[in-house]
């Protein structure tokens, strides 16, 4: 099929998608959301969840969920360009919003499972993910192992034909209303730390699983800590190969750092001059104030640079670069560094408007909340320091960080750490 024929088909698809959206979805009003909207509204009551799941079911039944996902598992099996076209049209409508757990399910866990899951696992979970029935969160951070992801001590021990999971995970976004967690567990202590890990699908309502919410500084409680006490799993719950969890983790981190988004959507357009900051300046009567205008211009210049960086990364990834995980780190690093700068600029523009306000949805209130949330991306999915390490080692080819524990059996490393006296020599 020639390129012209394909683009005619794509235009036809886009027109049909637009017509369906117009007939079935509410148009979206002017954007007034926080820049960190994923972190703003966290309370998924059962009623709200059911309402959003019904909306997702509608999208799924119409054939617009999982547009580029394999047809045998409930997707449409179309090229990524179709998914991008639908996303561009859908941006003008109120689409299903399953919150942070929904984002993790579709943008990270679902894609990772597709890449590594057995056909049986995919048949069980993927159609339910696409129809909105199943939400999957990431259980990777242990209380003692965050940046050092390979150092997790949550463990699964084989017992006959089952596995028994014990330990704890923390900072899990949205676990309190999710159905499953993808859990990274140690399955072999007698090999170096990266080689004895395995991913499991863990039902969050299984006997022995306790999920506790954690109250945050922004007033939300979407983070959770989970405790696993003799939770029974089977081989069918394993994602990828036994003891090869590190490979699966690399795929997951690539998607989490934007590798999946880069393939599916275009980065936000930065031609409109910082609309959120202009709205903010207007609300506090500073739109003509030269100082406020200077701050808005500073933000706009940064927005444009970031826009072009995203386009460049997306282009490289679409080209199928073998360095995709490390390339995704550039986008993640940019967000981690730039979000706090943007939040500071908003605060300076808002002046007293970010200290007191009459309405909770006022631009000043959003500026204050954004300040509390602005460090999310400098930590989540790997801190800015870890992104720098990844770029240094995997893109720039700099020497690896010195490591005392990566070639030794993990059991020995932990034993020594626990008995370390602090005396040297």
Ligand X SMILES: Cc1cc2nc3c(=O)[nH]c(=O)nc-3n(C[C@H](O)[C@H](O)[C@H](O)COP(=O)(O)OP(=O)(O)OC[C@H]3O[C@@H](n4cnc5c(N)ncnc54)[C@H](O)[C@@H]3O)c2cc1C
Binding stretches for ligand X (CB under 6 A): 137-141, 146-147, 169, 171-173, 376, 379-383, 385-386, 389
Nearer to ligand X, 169 or 278 (CB): 169
CB of 303 to ligand X, least distance (A): 22
135 with 105: CB under 8 angstroms? yes
CB of 58 to ligand X, least distance (A): 27
Nearer to ligand X, 117 or 382 (CB): 382
* Catalytic positions: 256
Nearer to ligand X, 65 or 109 (CB): 109
CB of 156 to ligand X, least distance (A): 16
CB of 38 to ligand X, least distance (A): 8
Q: Which residues contact 110 (CB under 8 A, 6 or more apart)?
A: 69, 126, 129, 130, 136
Nearer to ligand X, 146 or 409 (CB): 146
Nearer to ligand X, 53 or 383 (CB): 383
CB of 17 to ligand X, least distance (A): 31
CB of 262 to ligand X, least distance (A): 20
Burial environment of residue 95 by CB neighbours within 10 A (0 to 12, 13 to 18, 19 or more): middle
> Terminal CA-to-CA distance of the chain, rounded, Å?
71
Q: For 170, what's the count of Cα atoms within 13 Å in the CB-facing half-sphere? A: 13
Tokens 């870890």 — which residue? 386
Of all residues in the shown chain, the one whose CB is closest to ligand X is 146
Nearer to ligand X, 82 or 199 (CB): 199
């Amino acid at each position: 099929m020639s390129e012209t024929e394909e683009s005619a088909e794509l235009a036809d698809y886009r027109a049909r998608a637009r017509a369906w959206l117009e007939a079935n979805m509410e148009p979206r009003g002017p954007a007034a959301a926080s820049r960190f909207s994923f972190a703003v509204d966290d309370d998924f009551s059962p009623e709200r969840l059911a309402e959003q799941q019904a909306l997702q079911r509608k999208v799924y039944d119409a054939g617009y969920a999982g547009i580029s996902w394999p047809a045998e598992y409930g997707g449409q099996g179309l090229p990524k360009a179709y998914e991008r076209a639908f996303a561009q049209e859908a941006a003008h409508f109120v689409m299903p919003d399953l919150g942070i757990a929904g984002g993790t399910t579709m943008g990270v866990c679902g894609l990772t499972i597709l890449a590594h899951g057995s056909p049986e696992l995919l048949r069980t979970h993927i159609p339910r993910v696409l129809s909105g029935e199943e939400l999957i969160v990431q259980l990777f951070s242990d209380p003692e192992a965050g940046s050092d992801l390979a150092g997790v001590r949550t463990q699964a021990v084989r017992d006959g034909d089952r596995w028994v999971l014990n330990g704890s995970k923390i900072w899990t976004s949205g676990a309190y209303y999710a159905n499953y967690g993808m859990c990274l567990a140690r399955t072999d202590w007698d090999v170096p730390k990266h080689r004895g890990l395995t991913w499991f699908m863990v039902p969050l309502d299984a006997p022995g699983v306790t999920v506790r919410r954690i109250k945050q500084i922004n007033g939300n409680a979407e983070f959770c800590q989970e405790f696993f006490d003799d939770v029974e799993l089977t081989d069918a719950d394993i994602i990828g190969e036994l003891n090869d969890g590190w490979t699966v983790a690399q795929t997951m981190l690539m998607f989490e750092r934007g590798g999946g988004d880069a393939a599916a959507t275009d980065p936000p357009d930065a031609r409109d001059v910082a609309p959120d900051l202009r709205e903010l300046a207007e609300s506090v009567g500073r739109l003509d104030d030269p100082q406020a205008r200077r701050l808005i211009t500073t933000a706009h210049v940064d927005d444009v640079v970031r826009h072009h960086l995203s386009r460049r990364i997306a282009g490289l990834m679409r080209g199928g670069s073998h360095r995709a995980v490390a390339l995704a780190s550039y986008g993640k690093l940019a967000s981690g560094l730039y979000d706090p700068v943007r939040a500071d600029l908003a605060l300076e523009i808002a002046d007293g408007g970010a200290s007191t306000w009459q309405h909770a949805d006022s631009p000043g209130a959003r500026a204050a909340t954004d300040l509390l949330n602005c460090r999310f991306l400098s930590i989540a999915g790997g801190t800015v320091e870890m992104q720098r390490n990844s770029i240094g080692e995997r893109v720039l080819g700099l020497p690896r960080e010195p490591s005392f524990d990566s070639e030794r059996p993990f059991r020995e490393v932990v034993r020594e750490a626990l008995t370390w006296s602090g005396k040297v020599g």
